[in-house]
Amino acid sequence: MLKCDFGNLHREVELLEAGGAKMLHLDVMDGHFVPNLSYGAMVIERLRELTELPFEAHLMISEPTRYLDDFLKAGCNLLTFHLEVMPDPRPLMERIHEKGALAGLAINPKTPVEALEPYLDEFDVALVMSVEPGFGGQKFMPSALGKLQWLRSRLKPGKFASVDGGIDLETITDAAVSGANIFVVGSAIFEAGDYGQAISKLTNRARVPNSG
């Protein structure tokens, strides 16, 4: 949602839902962990009133533990935070699960994917950043493909590999072949004239044999 029209959020949600979006990915930035500010739980709470689509709160913030309950109360179904800010992410993932939500663990481009290995049984979604977090419209980093391949060979059934950044018609197939099964897409949808057509084309490009 980082690239949407924030002056007309109600209409944007309607268009995305009608176009076949499966989930809304909500980028929360604090101006500290990433050099940008976005929105917080109050905005998400109002969005929750507009749709029954699942919400993922991508917490690009330095203190996810401090604000966790706010995002849960706002109606988020999946809460993803960054390994870089949590020396031991297990307690926070346990809290998320206790509240009935799913837990996602994200890594930045410079973080080796092997850092996720101790937590493979703990998270529900591993989010591989394929751009530097904090800004939309960046170019996809091919180094993310190797990380997705590593995850594909290790994730158990019921776990998901997500990729975020620079996903478009040119990059989504490589990401899918490498093992991604959740795709965070911004510009390739919001800069299209027809959201539904854009989502359909992206979905078709992401379909690979045995991709799950």
What are the structural domains of the chain? 6-205 (3.20.20.70)
pLDDT averaged over 10-residue windows placed end to end, the chain, 212 residues = 87 96 96 89 95 97 96 98 96 97 98 98 98 84 98 96 96 98 95 95 86 46
Side-chain half-sphere of 190: how many Cα atoms within 13 Å?
20
Among 139, 155, 69, which Cα is nearest to 105's?
155
Confidence (pLDDT) at 101: 98
CA dihedral sign of residues 176, 179, 185, 187: negative
Tokens of 105: 């663990």
Q: What are phi and psi of 87, to 5 degrees?
A: -55, -35
Confidence (pLDDT) at 6: 87
Confidence (pLDDT) at 211: 46
Tokens of 130: 């394929």
Question: pTM of the predicted model, to two decimals?
Answer: 0.94
Among 76, 74, 94, which Cα is nearest to 86's?
94
CA 157 from chain center: how many Å? 19
Is 5 one of the catalytic residues? no
Catalytic residue, candidates 30, 121, 164, 168: 164
For 41-85, what is each residue's pLDDT tens digit?
999 999 999 999 999 999 999 999 999 999 999 999 999 999 999
Confidence (pLDDT) at 2: 80
Catalytic residue, candidates 27, 124, 168, 174: 27
Is 194 one of the catalytic residues? no
DSSP H or E stretch at residue 198: helix 195-206
